[in-house]
Structure 1
Amino acid sequence: MPILFDEATRTFTLHTRNTTYQMQADRFGYLLHLYFGARAEGTMDYLLTYADRSGCCTSPHEAGTRTYSLDVLPQEFPFQGNGDLRSPVFVMRDGEGTFGCDLRYARHEIRAGKYGLPGLPAVYADAEADGAQTLSVTLADARCGVEVELLYGVLPELDIITRAAIVRNTGAQRVVVEKLQTACLDFVHGDFDVMTFNGQHCMERKLDRHEVRPGSFSVGSRRGQSSHQYNPFMIVCDRDATETAGRGWSMSFVYSGNFKAEVEQTQYQQVRMQMGLSDELFSYPLEPGERLVAPEVIMTYSNAGLERLSHNLHRCIRRHVCRGPWRDAPRPILVNSWEAHYFDFTGDELVRLAAKAADLGLDMLVMDDGWFAERKDDYRSLGDWTVNEEKLGGTLGQLIERINTLGIKFGIWVEPEMVNEDSQLFREHPDWALAVPGKQPALGRDQLVLDFSRAEVRDNVFEQICRVLDQGNIEYLKWDFNRSLVDIYSHATTDQGRVVYDYYLGLYDVLERLVQRYPDLLIEGCAAGGGRFDAGMLHYTPQIWTSDNTDGHDRMTIQYGTSFGYPCSTVGAHVSACPNEVNGRTVSLSARGLIAMAGGGFGYELDLLELPERACELIREQIERYRGMERIVREGLYYRLSDPATADLYAWEFAAEDGSEAVVNVVVARAEGYGEAKYVVPRGLERTARYREVNSGVVYPAAALMDMGLPLPVGSALYMARSYHFVRVDE
């Protein structure tokens, strides 16, 4: 059984195929963390140490000894007020406004299947198909009238353990939650690095790795979105861990709003890793009988390097976070109208673009911003989701029919969470926007944010979008979000510290209603590109526009960092025109195409009608090649064969889990005249087998390929691109 309870020692053990997670309710009722590592049997409470450490507060009073201090003991859910002066995951004020609580073990339950969370995205799995189990452990403080239910989900075959928490006010007075994080791992010793994935708009998820040192380190978002700047995903690993060796622990937040991820090394060289909601702009009241749910964190462990850590997460997100028919289906290869026409297009021009797309072998045209109301630039009309039939030369349904007749599917862009001051919606309902009374609002892209914490706002937007979707055969929806939340004020409440959290409950409500009403609609998430690339959005949108930067060179770094926590099936990646509109760089079309093929949402972001015939021929070849490798991109194991920040080659690989085939791709990132020969070394092959390279017909022994690699032509030019497709030769 994945979850075991030893009644004599009050020890909980969670087993997966390769890992064990263990905790214990000690003699005072405090829930101590014992172990998360390679699969092990027995009780690991021998790892706990007790000593009289001067300066540490002893708690509880009944301990009767100075050797017991929660400031040193590893904990599952550390809370403020018990003598532990490390960073807590839970801080509250009671009915009198006093800080401090004392949460102790009250009860537990083990049940089949994976828990769900009310109103929030979460990993899904069942008992029969996946062997999943749930552990519920309730901690209680009778004085404050508060209970915290800790939820653990075990997916044993994937080496995945999830965590969530539900705070309940069981007392007679209002309480206020000032900090609520979901997951904590306490390491009693170790020399670690911390890895985070940082950046900015148009350069998201760059890997940052540095050693854990005394003090506190954190990343997070106070922007009202998971953000371009810091991704809600973190790894702590051995200082010498590599792709294929060493220990690593990861946390991924299944949430799209403000978050904080922390790592603290204490005075005794212990390390605490934690993740959850940000405590900035957060102060959440609970009336008697109310509850607050801490969003889920996905955790996994590997003692075989970072590669296995990523594989565990990729399988989990691809199969147990993403949902619907598009989870396992080939995505349409599309052309987006934005970089072809921006706001300036007509229906006839879109039809011509669709005709060219059909000629090149694409599947879909997406009509981007500019199709609605008076939208001729980004200063007006957001919030007014009515079709500009004059601009399109007819109804939306008629335009879709014209495009469908060409054999091309149709998609559309929307930004439903936003409103312009120059819009009918804002003129009628100015209080529907998040804005502080008496203060000039901060504008982003000349737009404000609608208050999705309010049901009437959500209902209005939902009905408007449905009226658009019902006008024709729309098969794809690009859901954009182009600014941060700054003025946090809702006219619907006097408790402004709850607004950002309630906003995301509202967003998830609208998305869930869309998913249920249009189950076959492919929704792509977008937040000025990669500003909300997180597991929470992937529960509703199985692919996300990875970055507004489509430059092939920069995309090497962006997609490399993204791959640590997210499967390639979720990555939206397009080929755009050169010189690139973001940085002016020119990269070969062959390299741009191959790099974009590393995503499950492949397409083009340029004017196909302006391309020379040679470029059109190359695009036809790229589309044919992508169709041949699409399944392994979507379902295969991903291998990072080089780091584009340090290597001359950007190389990556997709391999079938059964070892039957692999695709190895490489782009020359730095070139020297008459330089040394460069080799790409694949992994993920069956070592004792032989493989035929499909394009050349040459047969290679896998052992030699994985030991010494495959040479590229000497003197390969900058951005030269090569793709090798290996198929196992079965004797």
Structure 2
Amino acid sequence: MTIHISGDGLRFHLTNGRISHIMAVAEGKLVNLYTGAAVPDDGTVDYGYLLDDRFRVQSSTIGEDGERYAEQQRLEYPEFGCGDYRHPAIEAVQENGSRISDLRYVGYMVADGKPPLPGLPATFAEIRDGRIVDDSPAAETLAISLRDDLTGLSVRLFYTIFRDEPVIARSADIANRGDAPLTLTRATSLNLDLPDADYEMIEFTGAWARERIPHRQPLHPGIQQIESLRGASGPYFSPNAVIARPDTNEDVGEAFGLAFVYSGNFDLHAEVDTYGATRLQLGINPFGFAWRLEPGETFQTPEALLGYTDRGLNALSQTFHRIVLDHLQRPAWARRERPVLINNWEATYFDFTEEKLLELAALAAKAGIGLFVLDDGWFGARTSNRAGLGDWIANPRRLPEGIAGIARRINGLGMDFGLWFEPEMVNEDSDLYRAHPDWVIATPGRTRSVYRHQYVLNFANPDVVDAIYERMHAILSGANVAYVKWDMNRFITEAFDATRGAERQGELMHRYIIGVYSLYERLFAAFPELIIEGCASGGSRFDYGILAYSPQAWTSDDTDAVERLSIQYGTSYFFPVATMGSHVSITPNHQTGRSESLAMRAAVAMFGTFGYEMDLTALGEDDLAEIGRQVAFFRAQADLLHNGDLYRLRAPYDHRQAAWMCVAADRSRAIVGDYVILGVPNRPKSRLRLRGLDEARRYRVHSTDGAFDAVRSGGELMRVGIDDTDLGPDSAARVYLLDVC
């Protein structure tokens, strides 16, 4: 058992030997006693002494004769206005305008496994024989019921602890059991009150082409917040964060990780009060959110994950990587080798013919590349970004036999065929818009903002989702399409749902992303083997919600190898190598103008899903032969790269060096990427110390460029390291392979 209940049913301890989360009912309120490294529970330890009942001036008690002070309690799902002045986890507006709730404990249930969340992506207990098993003992779920008797507001808090991982999944099911409507204006997925604030917050910030760069700063009194109000998780702030002790580094120390299984507006913040306690919250952004609950209706919050480590940040990342690969991704592609692909975008942009595509594909097939992806420009009147979005019918002038014809010809080369869509968008110059201008998200009487000459379709409207599904289904069922690149190039502005009344306008952003998820679900029901790579103007929607459907996501539109070192390094804190869409692209690079060797570009891209985005017809025979060798090498190492444990060795943010490595689970093999970003004249001695090896075993270590070949013990490699002083001028790379001998 991983969930222990006290004899009186008023104390709950979730533990699996690596994490403990202990709660108790005190004066009717559900409070947190402890969260952190696992502590024993033989049924004799009360842990009630962890309740904070100290008096502080101006603190109110819970009830007239209460002994607990609301503002000091570490509440599991706090409300505002009954003595707790910190941000609440929930707020429900009643018909009289009151926002006060008082949620009291009702009861609990425990079940093996992990139930799915209706209409939302979520983790699951395990994959067995290629299918999701919800009632598996690989996880156990506790549901605790709370109720506000005055209004009938009822909440079930779900806690799932995984048998083998220090992770607890959290969500809330909120119901109106009263007689009058309620409007939720806040519905947090995870609230965690910690007794101190001796932590630093690591956020992952950026913008287009420079996504998910770690930013670390100490917690301080007040609120530190990251959020999105764009209708998508976005590239600016990722819906994940690490809360780490100041002395925590990659290899030692204590930290919590927070990850949101959601792709829409989010709020993640740490609130530190002036007594040094910390409240962490993660959920749907309450700004502009208002969800009306008629009597009998319910609202399910998205899932949030809380991970823990006392062994440093590498261990925390590896935990979340296993959660993604074993408990989040669709069974059809979980831990399955991805195809090496070539995408025509940077080779042709909109300027292509079918013969040009086939010429490119033939060279790719000769190099051993297994998937050809036709990007934007194949449909409607789409010869630029000004027209055609929404008209998902092949342009006969470019593809005389349609998608079925070019797919058949690509298949004839021994390759799979993939296709680009941007299903959520429409151009004003399109047949779809001319037929349904009311399907665009726009506020009546307001000037519409525009980006890339496109507008956002209202996926909160089921008719819109139905129409897009029917067009995509027609294409996918009429041709042998193995892969879809799903793009999303602009955010929501002038948010208004023309299909609903004034009292429902606060529901649009959430209903929109539910509509997106429903389209994914319907496509996979019809085409279970289909790969959909998430892409949102690069990495603008790289989150656990999308990864529940897509085995991989395009990490960034910035394909420059040096820039990708920083982007992929930061992404790796929560996302495994197997999820990071990463390609060898053209040089000089189209985003930075920088030129890098083919070897350097491949040495970075192989620590991702791996593929190419360049015009092979412009290359000489030597480069084409080198690409063939790169593809063969990657395929030989793909399982190690995608399923091994990732260790970050050198951070690239000083713009000098970077390094990382993947180690097999049994520690018999490893692959290392070692990079020089800026060369240093008269360079000092440099040693790269490895991680994750068996210190007692001996390894044969050799570099793919032939510069290093030796037999060393794991202990020596981790403590003394590899002398890489000779590596590179600017933009140089070396890949090492390690095998036990």
1:645 and 2:653 are equivalent in the alignment = yes
Q: Which moved more, 1:46-55 or 1:401-410?
A: 46-55
1:128 Cα offset (Å): 6.9
Amino acid in the other structure paired with 1:254? V
Where 1:235 maps in the other structure, the secondary structure is: strand
> Once superposed, which parts of structure 1, at least 4 consecutive aligned residues long, lie more than 3 Å away?
126-130, 694-697
Shift of the alpha carbon at 1:94?
1.4
Q: In the TM superposition, what is the alpha-carbon distance from 1:101 to its structure 2 partner?
A: 0.4
Give runs of aligned pairs for residues 229-244 of structure 1, distance below 5 A. Answer: 229-244=236-251
Opposite residue 460 of structure 2, the aligned amino acid is S
For the residue of structure 2 that corresponds to 1:392, the secondary structure is: coil
1:6-155 mapped onto 2 (5 Å cutoff): 6-8=6-8, 10-26=10-26, 28-41=27-40, 42-63=45-66, 68-125=68-125, 126=133, 130-155=137-162
Write out aligned runs for 1:328-477 (5 A). Answer: 328-477=335-484
C-alpha distance after superposition, 1:40-95 (max 9, x if no partner): 023433222322211223222231x5xx3211111111112221111211111113
SS in 2 for 1:431: helix
Shift of 1:591: 1.2
Q: Distance in 1 between matches of 2:531 and 2:466?
A: 21
Q: Which moved more, 1:53-62 or 1:156-165?
A: 53-62
Residue 716 of structure 1 is matched in structure 2 by: 728
Partners of 2:288 and 2:506 within 8 A in 1: yes
Query: Aligned-residue CA RMSD in angstroms?
Result: 1.3
CA positional deviation for 1:693: 2.0
Say which SS state the counterpart of residue 377 (structure 1) adopts.
coil
Give deviations 1:80-119, integer Å, cap 9, x for gaps.
2221111211111113221110001111100111121000
Whole-Å Cα distance in 1 between the matches of residues 693 and 63 of structure 2? 55
Which AA in structure 2 matches 1:526? Answer: C
State the 1:656 CA deviation. Answer: 0.7
Shift, 1:334, TM fit:
0.8
Q: Secondary structure at the match of 1:331?
A: coil
Could you report, residue by residue, the CA deviation over 1:231-273 in whole angstroms, capped at 9, with x for unpaired residues? Answer: 0001101011111111100110000000000011111011111
CA contact (8 A) 1:380 1:421 kept: yes
**Cα distance per residue 1:655-679 (max 9 Å; x no partner):** 0111111111111122112211222
Query: What residue in structure 1 maps to residue 635 of structure 2?
Result: 627
Q: In structure 1, the residue corresponding to 2:451 is in which secondary structure?
A: coil
| Alignment partner of 1:592 out of 569, 584, 601 | 601
Q: 1:606 aligns with which of 602, 607, 614?
A: 614
- Of 322, 327, 335, 2:329 maps to 322
Aligned to 1:177: 184
SS at match of 2:653: coil
Aligned partner of 1:544 among 543, 547, 553: 553
Unaligned 5+ segments in structure 2 are: 126-132
- Cα displacement (A) at 1:144: 1.2
Q: Which residue of structure 2 lines up, in the alignment, with residue 524 of structure 1?
A: 533
- Partners of 2:64 and 2:461 lie apart in 1 by 46
Cα distance, 1:357–1:259 mapped onto 2, change above 3 Å: same
- What CA distance in whole angstroms lies between the structure 2 residues aligned with 1:127 and 1:114? 5
Alignment-derived partner of residue 521 in structure 2 = 512
The alpha carbon displacement at 1:713 in A equals 4.3
- Taking a change above 3 Å as real, the CA distance of residues 205 and 182 of structure 1, as seen in their structure-2 partners, is same
Runs of 5+ in structure 1 lacking a partner?
A: none
CA distance in 2, matches of 1:18, 1:98: 42
1:575 corresponds in structure 2 to: 584
Partner of 1:657: 665
Query: Post-superposition shift, 1:396?
Result: 1.7
Superposed displacement of residue 588, structure 1 = 2.1
Q: Among 276, 287, 296, which residue is 1:289 paired with?
A: 296
Structure 1: how far apart are the matches of 2:660 and 2:631?
Answer: 19
Kept in 1, the 8 Å contact 2:114–2:135? The answer is no
SS in 2 for 1:700: strand
Residue 270 of structure 1 corresponds to 277
1:702 and 1:527 map into 2 onto residues whose CA distance is 41
Please say if residues 115 and 153 of structure 1, whose CA atoms lie closer than 8 Å, have aligned partners that are also in contact. Answer: no
Using the TM superposition, give the Cα deviation of residue 290 of structure 1 relative to its aligned residue in structure 2, in angstroms: 0.7
Q: Amino acid of the residue matched to residue 698 of structure 1?
A: A
CA deviation map 1:553-593 (0-9, x unaligned): 11111001100011111110011111211121222221111
Which moves more between the two structures, 1-10 or 418-427?
Answer: 1-10
1:228 Cα shift? Answer: 0.6
Q: Kindly indicate whether the alpha-carbon contact (under 8 Å) linking 1:177 and 1:286 is maintained by their aligned counterparts in 2.
A: yes
> Quick one: distance in 2 between partners of 1:82 and 1:6?
28
Distance 1:396 1:210, change over 3 A: same
Task: Please say if residues 130 and 157 of structure 1, whose CA atoms lie closer than 8 Å, have aligned partners that are also in contact.
Answer: no
Structure 1 distance, partners of 2:148, 2:651, is 49
On the 8 A contact 1:256/1:534 being kept in 2, the answer is yes
What are the Cα deviations for residues 641-666 of structure 1, in whole angstroms up to 9, with x where unaligned?
01100373210000011111111111
**Which range is displaced more, 16-25 or 224-233?**
16-25
The 3-state SS of whatever aligns with 1:666 is: strand
In 2: Cα distance, 1:550 partner to 1:72 partner:
49
- Distance apart, 1:471 and its partner CA: 2.0
Is the 1:324–1:520 contact (alpha carbons within 8 Å) kept by the matching residues of 2?
A: no
When normalised by structure 1's length, the TM-score is 0.97
Aligned to 2:701: 693
* 3-state SS in 2 of match to 1:459: helix
- Using the alignment, how far apart are the partners of 2:75 and 2:654 within structure 1? 39
> Is this contact kept in 2: 1:346–1:393, CA < 8 A?
no
Note the C-alpha offset of 1:395. Answer: 2.4
Identity over aligned pairs, percent: 36
**2:700 matched to 1:680?**
no
Between the aligned partners of 1:457 and 1:127, the Cα distance in structure 2 is 32
Q: Which residue of 2 aligns with 1:309?
A: 316
Q: Kindly indicate whether the alpha-carbon contact (under 8 Å) linking 1:127 and 1:133 is maintained by their aligned counterparts in 2.
A: no
C-alpha contact (below 8 Å) 1:668/1:719 kept by paired residues: yes
| One-letter amino acid matched to 1:687 | E
TM-score (ref. length: structure 2): 0.96
Q: Does the aligned pair in 1 maintain the 2:175–2:299 contact within 8 Å?
A: yes
Distance 1:480 1:647, change over 3 A: closer
Give the number of equivalent residue pairs: 724
Aligned residues of 1:95 and 1:144 also touching (Cα < 8 A): no
Q: CA deviation at 1:219?
A: 0.4
Deviation at 1:12, TM superposition (A): 0.5
Shift of 1:515: 1.0
Checking the alignment, whether the CA contact within 8 Å between 2:683 and 2:725 is kept in structure 1 is: no
Residue number in structure 2 paired with 1:559: 568
Letter in 1 for 2:714: A
Contact 2:197–2:219 under 8 Å retained in 1:
no
Deviating more after overlay: 693-702 vs 35-44: 693-702
Preserved CA contact (<8 Å) 2:121 2:548: yes
Whether the aligned pair in 1 keeps the contact of 2:197 and 2:272 (CA below 8 Å) is: no
- In the other structure, the counterpart of 2:129 is none
Residue 35 of structure 1: how far off its partner (Å): 1.1
**Distance in 2 of aligned mates of 1:290 and 1:588:** 59
Question: Could you tell me how far apart the structure 1 residues matched to 2:725 and 2:166 are?
Answer: 41
